[in-house]
Chain A
Amino acid sequence: MYRYDEFDHDFVQARVAEFSDQVQRRLSGEISEDQFRPLRLMNGVYLQLHAYMLRIAVPYGTLNGKQLRMLGHIARKYDKGYGHFTTRQNIQFNWPALSDIPAILADLASVEMHAIQTSGNCIRNVTADHFAGAAADEVADPRPYAEILRQWSSVHPEFSFLPRKFKIAVTGAERDRAAIQTHDIGLHLKKNAAGELGFAVYVGGGQGRTPMVARKIRDFLPEADLLSYCTAILRVYNLYGRRDNKYKARIKILVHETGVEEITRQVEAEWQELKDAELRLPDADIRAIQAYFAPPALTDRPEGDQAVKLARLDSKGFSEWLDQNVVTHRHPDYAAVTISLKGIGEVPGDASDSQMEAVADIAETYAFDELRVSHEQNLILPHVARADLKAVYDALVDIGLATANSNLISDIISCPGLDYCALATARSIPIAQEISQRFASLERQREIGELKLKISGCINACGHHHVGHIGILGVEKKGSELYQVTLGGSADENTSVGEIIGRGFSSEEITDAIEQIVETYLGLRLNPQEKFIDAYRRVGPAPFKEALYAGETKAA
């Protein structure tokens, strides 16, 4: 994985020193909150309901055991013994004292981590496919390009005060696991007919109060032009993006209001001025960054097949976990493992200090010291020999992280909601917990099959409800929490925004409503292979409306 060079070390150390000084000056009263607020946000420090919150960057979701162990240490020493993994592949701590944040940042810097650009109207943490480098279906590892984008965008003077925040995602496979079409810029790494690497470029995706699916503005951008083209997009946005209204300031609104043809024309015109200048990536530089992401030396472990076969016979739990949480690796003797942070009835995305340390141990022992955070709020071991899967499973069972529910209805994305967040209008975690408990039976979940359920506690949509197969949005109505349901959203290569199905439900009703939707699906699917999203796309909302609201219409 990427290792800091001297420049990175100096840069991060300088930022720690600078922000530590700013914190000291704030605590001594030398600078006011109005002066300090933008500074703390640039360093990932928010103020939430109960305390400050610190969001730490995990670039493209990649980290090693030492780094995860440090996150566990921070959770224990400075926080309340846990952290929350986020949909930007980052981690947040919910209780740090402002006065401790300089020490936390110094600890992070010691393992090449920081909290820079995890907030503010700048280019945020670039996300990538969590199976990058391991997936059997990718043309190349997208992370070197994410790293190039990270280096380019870090304190970029022209793009540090954009109209609004800006999010970029990269995938290297046809099957999009990075939700690129919900991003300001989505990059799909692919090969052209000549076998050269480049990108399909999407712009203007986003969620929030105005969800939009990104539009493709270029089918193939040569890899050398990555930075010049992104610069052209950002320049057009920086120049024409709206600054008069925060809710209309994202690039998606500019793309929508300007029209995709005109935006494309503007970007291409800007790019003509830039493409042959200093932003053109020298081949040697790309290869140098790629070298950092060289895959681990995966020696053949053909004994894995037999070991897995025997272990399956021995343990039903292992067998189920293997079927659900383990996916094919490009090397036949290896697999990629999803560590579910969605135990039944647990808080989605939360991990305790000791769980983080134990997972770090597992990664070091069995997974070439590589870990990923997925945007679906799970942890990933990208390279595990099949021969070691049973040992990994046993170690995960010991720490309560072997729930076999990846991509099932209890693998819920949930924002922190009103339990923590100052912007939230309703709670989301308790709803996630109740739904998870209602569908606790793994047998039932598997019968239902792939179903992405996503919950947000306000219209900002941090819980990605717009692109959930089933989405739940919590709002406040007349002083109470009300939950609106959307159906038919999706965040893969066929991205779609879900449709509101009808009136909302109270916190007491919502789990029953979800169950009714699921039962309706089970009753109408053509066969067990027809997934929820496919069935919904075939039949539309009518049968679900009927199931949820028919009684009311008749009564009325």
Chain B
Amino acid sequence: MKILTANRLTDGIAVWYADGGWVETVGQADLAHDKAAEDRLEAIGAKAYADNEVVDVNLIDAEVVDGVVEPVRLREKIRAAGPTIRGDLGKQAERAA
């Protein structure tokens, strides 16, 4: 399964594509289960890049754990949570707040 991720142009914050827009947490990201869905997400990413909403657009591997979308690779897990050495920073801190 794949999800679409990028960084927001204005502040560089990591975002994921969910339900028609870019959101700051990965949990509800739109999942692509097949090639056609991946192509659709890719096209959305390309348009958002061209429209200067986001940069560094990527389709990444994801899985669903307890009903929540999670990236597979460590790199993407860290992007989704924040630095592992600073639990007080990044998305993980916002979730805790």
Contact = CB atoms under 8 A, between A and B. Distances in A.
Interface of A: 26-27, 29, 32-33, 47-52, 80, 95-99, 347, 418-420, 422, 424, 427, 429-430, 433, 476, 479-481
Contacts of A50: 12-14, 79, 82-83, 90
A238 B29 CA distance: 47
Contacts of A479: 72-74
A52 to B, nearest CB: 4
Contacts of A47: 7, 12, 55-56
A80 B89 contact: yes
Interface string B38-59: 0000000000011110011000
Contact of B11 (A52, A80, A481): A52
Nearest to A97: B11
Nearest to B88: A80
Interface of B: 7, 9-14, 49-52, 55-56, 72-75, 78-79, 82-86, 89-90
Nearest to A30: B52
B82 to A, nearest CB: 6
A98 B11 contact: yes
Contacts of B10: 27, 97-99
Contact of B49 (A33, A51, A418): A33
B85 to A, nearest CB: 5
B49 A419 contact: no
A418 B83 CA distance: 8
Contacts, number: 75
B11 A419 contact: no
Nearest to B50: A32
Contacts of B89: 80, 95
Nearest to A80: B89
Contact of A418 (B13, B56, B75, B86): B75
Contacts of A51: 7, 11-14
Contacts of A48: 12
A426 to B, nearest CB: 8
Given A33-B55, A47-B7, A50-B13, 15 more contacts: A47-B12, A49-B79, A51-B11, A51-B12, A95-B89, A97-B11, A98-B12, A347-B85, A418-B75, A419-B83, A419-B84, A419-B85, A422-B56, A427-B85, A479-B73
Nearest to B73: A479
B12, B55, B74 interface centre (most CB from chain A within 10 Å): B12
Nearest to B81: A50
B51 to A, nearest CB: 7
A420 B79 CA distance: 8
21 contacts: A26-B9, A27-B9, A27-B52, A32-B50, A33-B52, A47-B55, A49-B79, A50-B14, A50-B83, A51-B11, A97-B10, A347-B85, A418-B74, A419-B78, A419-B84, A419-B86, A420-B83, A430-B85, A476-B74, A479-B72, A480-B74
Nearest to A36: B55
Contacts of A433: 85
B84 A49 contact: no
A49 B91 CA distance: 12
A32, A50, A99 interface centre (most CB from chain B within 10 Å): A50
B46 to A, nearest CB: 12
B15 to A, nearest CB: 11
B72, B75, B84 interface centre (most CB from chain A within 10 Å): B75
A427 B84 contact: yes
A97 to B, nearest CB: 4
A429 B11 contact: no
B9 to A, nearest CB: 7
A29 B11 contact: no
Contacts of A26: 9, 52
B59 to A, nearest CB: 16
B3 to A, nearest CB: 16
A26 B18 CA distance: 25
Nearest to B79: A49
A33, A49, A420 interface centre (most CB from chain B within 10 Å): A49
Given A476-B74, A481-B74, A97 B84 contact: no
Nearest to A45: B12
Contacts of A347: 85-86
A155 B53 CA distance: 31
Contacts of B86: 347, 419
A52, A476, A481 interface centre (most CB from chain B within 10 Å): A52
Contacts of A95: 89
A29 B52 contact: yes
A29 B50 CA distance: 9
A52 B12 contact: yes
A32 B72 CA distance: 30
B80 to A, nearest CB: 10
A48 B83 CA distance: 12
A107 to B, nearest CB: 18
A422 B79 CA distance: 9
A303 B25 CA distance: 61
